[in-house]
Amino acid sequence: MPSQHRWTDAQGRQTVQTIVKKLIPQWSNGLYSYQEDVILRVLDGQDVLCCLNTGGGKSAMFSVPLIVLREMTRNPHLYPRLRTRARPVGIVITPTKGLAANIVHELQKLDLPAFAYCHETITQSRKKGENLVKIIADCKTYSLICVDPEHLRDDSWRLITASDTFRANVIFGCVDEAHLINEWGAEFRPLFKHIGAFFRGRLPSTVAILALSATIQPGVETNSICRSLGFSGNNFYHLRLSNERHNLQFIIQPLDHGFSGDEFPELLEYLNQNRKTVVHCRRIEDLQRLFMYAFDSLPPGLDRLRRIKTYHSLHSFDVNTETLRLLDEDPMCQAVFATVAFTNGLNIRSIVDSLAYKFPKTLNLKLQEGGRAGRDPETRARAVTFIQPSVLSDAEKQISGRVDAPKISRKTGKPVRTKKTTPIEHSAALVLSESKCYIATINRIYQNPPLETSTLDCISAKRLLPCSLCAKRKKINIEYAPLPLPTDMTLPPFIAPATPQSAPLTPEEKKLKLTRKERDPVMLALEKFAEDVRRTEQHHPDNHHRPKSSYFPSSMREHLAGKLLALDSLFALRALLTSWNFASTYAGSLYDLVVELQATIRSDREAARVEKNAKQRATRLSKKALQDSEMSEVDDNVEESEHSDVDDDRRSSPIPPPAKRTKTGSGGVLKEVTNRTKLSSGRKESSRGKKSSKTKSQANVAKEKQTLATIAAGFGPAYRTTSDRRRARGG
């Protein structure tokens, strides 16, 4: 019988409230009014775009419609005639299989059967001999199916959505974390852009399309998502509430050290407060360094692996699922080091601290990271981002439009080429360059209502947990209590590991170490090799969701480059590749590359040695030639000093009368002349011994000429130089 009422009518609202109170008693306060508004529209088949804060109850918007319709199917006589289905089912598109598993786990608590459609669960079904397509299409076993966009293109989903039974019972198609349509759909996972086309092309037109997110910015982002999903005009309901988290302190903490090392002392300060923590890392290589630092900071023993965990896409589905369970249930499991796989949507209510190294590419991802903490509104939580001061400076320059003058090389006088930096996303730059209040800036970006108070700084708005800028300005220190532990359990503190003192390199070790000039082409060659491996292996079914960086990790390439010249066999290379998944396939070709690089480096070193020796020999010969030239010039100058130009001029004129002599006798005069001659000779020897410059030697010679000319003028022809007398005789 056709329904007589719409769900958005008073009877429909009352029916939903009654069923929720009956079947979900743990929700003592029932649904929020905005949740009811969305749920009723979904039941009426209306499209919805919903934007509200992380932890705001978005999952209820796709779970409650199914719970309500299942109850009405079991007990139709208890409820008014409303639009319903015999076997209600819904589809939720999830970005990660971890989120899919988390949704399935949460819905089990509500007695709602759900299935995470991913590679692992598909394989398990095949091993059991199950026909998964038929099971899903019959709508008897599962009421909710979580699936990623990549699997929607499989033939299985064409068969499922072509089934008459499935089409008659499907209620909605939902996109969880809809902001990723823009962020991941552009390059990382382009099939996110085709979700709307799948819903519009493969599902009946009466099915509601629901898009949920905490981080969709008004304007361009919202319009792009609407176009992708086919929302236009007034044909969909747009709910936008504030995404501000009142129990979460937003902190940006500048680092006083670089991030490329292996020591992170600020991390231990937070971990030693014994609070459930997630540490967000940009890459798996970063995760490994941070995890090992924390691991080495704990006392030896198996408890270390119980206290800290890792979560990333290289772990199996079961391992990651178990990690989430331990975080919720094991009081000793304190921290998880995670990649972006943990960023979106996961609901672990025990986590109260979110620590992130480096600001992510977008502000949306930053709020998603922080949103993993404080899911219980009664707790005080923190979202901390460790960042280098240079990033804050770059953001300030970008927002102000200031451009620094280029650095000029002292040697060439030309501008120095600097590494091009990728522009920071505008919204992220606005937050990073903020100097008064982070929360006010975020509220302006997302237009969080009411703007009259949301755009005030934390002190003026009287926020419970002021951001780090406001707390610093007003010198507010907030105390965070550790989570309670069982009375028989104590957690040892994290103590920074001692830094080993490295011994000086031996001459042989120095020969095996690459210079920076040698290392750069080696790293380029290894990066090219990694890309070749990725292109070959990415089409294998097991690698469809493998991160690009995991095919030949950069940490392994760095380690290999450090050992390159010491590798003398394939066996030695294999010993370095024990943790590489593709070692059995590519170790041989990698060793060929290693041998080629070794030969190039040794050849270049030998050529450089020969060139260096030739330059040194040329320098020695040049110096010797210069010395010989200077000595020859000095000798020539001394010989010329014996010829007096004054005497030559005087021979053509009458000889002047001898000068009047003082009372000193001839012996005194001869003594004076002799002393002057010795002085002149001594100066010549000194000039030769010190290898004076040509200019200095000429000055001394000129002075000596003048002295001899004066003496000759005073004593007449008897004291002419030997060369003068020789020329006179020849004349």
pLDDT over 80 at 517, yes or no: yes
**CB count in 10 Å sphere of residue 199:** 24
Q: Order across the sheet with 381-387: list the strands.
A: 248-254, 381-387, 353-357, 277-280, 335-338, 308-311
Q: Which residue has the tokens 């178990």?
A: 322
Tell me the average pLDDT across 97-124: 93
Cα–Cα dist 279/267, whole Å: 9
Position with higher pLDDT, 18 vs 191: 18
Position with higher pLDDT, 685 vs 428: 428
107-140 CB burial, b ≥16 within 10 A, e <16: beebebebbbbbbebbeebeeeeeebbeebbbbe
Could you give the residue ranges of the DSSP H alpha helices within 413-498? 426-432, 438-446, 451-454, 458-461, 468-473
Tell me: the pLDDT tens digits for 275-334?
A: 999 999 999 889 999 999 999 999 988 789 999 999 998 888 889 999 999 999 999 999
Whole-number average pLDDT of the chain: 86
Q: Which two tokens stand for residue 681?
A: 């000779």
Cα–Cα dist 347/308, whole Å: 19
**Per-residue pLDDT band at 339 (split at 50, 70, 90):** very high
pLDDT over 70 at 403, yes or no: no
What torsion do the CA atoms of 392, 397, 398, 402 make, to the nearest 10 degrees?
180
Radius of gyration of the chain (CA): 43
pLDDT over 90 at 370, yes or no: yes
- E-strand ranges in 196-256 read 208-213, 236-240, 248-254
Evaluated on CA atoms 283, 285, 286, 291, the torsion sign reads positive
| pLDDT given at position 420 | 64
Tell me the average pLDDT across 25-37: 93
* Contact (Cβ atoms closer than 8 angstroms) between residue 310 and residue 336: yes
Q: Please tell me the pTM assigned to this model.
A: 0.71
Cα–Cα dist 393/405, whole Å: 15
pLDDT over 90 at 505, yes or no: no
* Contact (Cβ atoms closer than 8 angstroms) between residue 369 and residue 356: yes
**Bridge partners, residue 50, by sequence:** 212, 239
| pLDDT given at position 301 | 84
Tell me: the pLDDT tens digits for 689-716?
A: 544 454 555 556 566 556 555 555 554 4
**Bridge partners, residue 357, by sequence:** 386
Q: Which domains does the chain have, with CATH numbers?
A: 10-240 (3.40.50.300), 248-405+421-473 (3.40.50.300), 509-603 (no CATH), 642-651+666-731 (no CATH)
Tell me the average pLDDT across 61-68: 97
| pLDDT given at position 502 | 64
| pLDDT given at position 404 | 63
pLDDT over 70 at 493, yes or no: yes
* Contact (Cβ atoms closer than 8 angstroms) between residue 324 and residue 98: yes
**Per-residue pLDDT band at 499 (split at 50, 70, 90):** confident
According to DSSP, the β-strands at 89-93 and 170-176 are parallel
* Contact (Cβ atoms closer than 8 angstroms) between residue 162 and residue 137: no
**% of the chain residues with pLDDT over 90:** 62
**Per-residue pLDDT band at 2 (split at 50, 70, 90):** low
pLDDT over 80 at 45, yes or no: yes
| Segment (H or E) for 310 | strand 308-311
**CB count in 10 Å sphere of residue 328:** 15
In this structure, what are the phi and psi dihedrals at residue 9, rounded to the nearest 5 degrees?
Answer: -75, 170
**% of the chain residues with pLDDT over 70:** 83
Cα–Cα dist 691/658, whole Å: 39
Cα–Cα dist 130/138, whole Å: 13
Tell me the average pLDDT across 116-139: 94
Tell me the average pLDDT across 436-443: 98
**Per-residue pLDDT band at 346 (split at 50, 70, 90):** confident
Cα–Cα dist 534/547, whole Å: 10
| Segment (H or E) for 727 | helix 722-730
**Per-residue pLDDT band at 603 (split at 50, 70, 90):** very high
Cα 430 to Cα 223, 437, 440, 443, 554: the distances in Å are 21, 11, 11, 12, 32
**Per-residue pLDDT band at 675 (split at 50, 70, 90):** low
